[in-house]
Amino acid sequence: MAKILIIDDERAIRNTLRDILETEKYTVDDAEDGIIGLEKIQQTEYDVILCDIKMPKMDGIEVLDKTKEITDTPVIMISGHGTIDTAVGSIKKGAYDYISKPPDLNRLLVSIRNAMDKSKLISETKVL
């Protein structure tokens, strides 16, 4: 079963995403800020990470930068305050995808599936 980490400071968003993803049979973990999220990334292997951009303590772009130093796990950025520049910037920094809030559920699920396919491909390449 695929494991997904949700990093978002809004409890309602975390809970909604958790409910949706668990209905789709994913195992879900969450963190209320980037610092806790990074601790979980260091302790647990995830198939996909969903990360909000605007958060207190550490924003999502910082989390993305530090995550890329730790793991190859695909990161999907989510934001309700983003612009085209924010989306392009996060992709250039290594995000797998960018989805605006509130997320279109079909688009989110397709992006997660595609990111997991990429994650499996990376894992298989490392074995070879």
How many other C-beta atoms lie within 10 A of the C-beta of residue 43? 8
For residue range 17-73, list pLDDT tens digits in order. Answer: 999 999 999 999 999 999 999 999 999 999 999 999 999 889 999 999 999 999 999
Helix/strand/coil for 37: helix
Tens of pLDDT, residue by residue over 70-118, are: 999 999 999 887 677 888 888 999 999 999 888 888 999 999 999 988 7
Predicted confidence at residue 61, as pLDDT, reads: 92
Distance, CA of 113 to CA of 74 (rounded, Å)? 11
pLDDT at 97: 94
State phi, psi for 78 to the nearest 5 degrees.
-130, 140
CATH number at residue 39: 3.40.50.2300
Give which of 35, 40, 38, 22 is closest to 112, Cα–Cα: 22
Write out the residue range of the structural domain in which residue 106 sits. Answer: 3-127
State how many domains the chain has.
Answer: 1
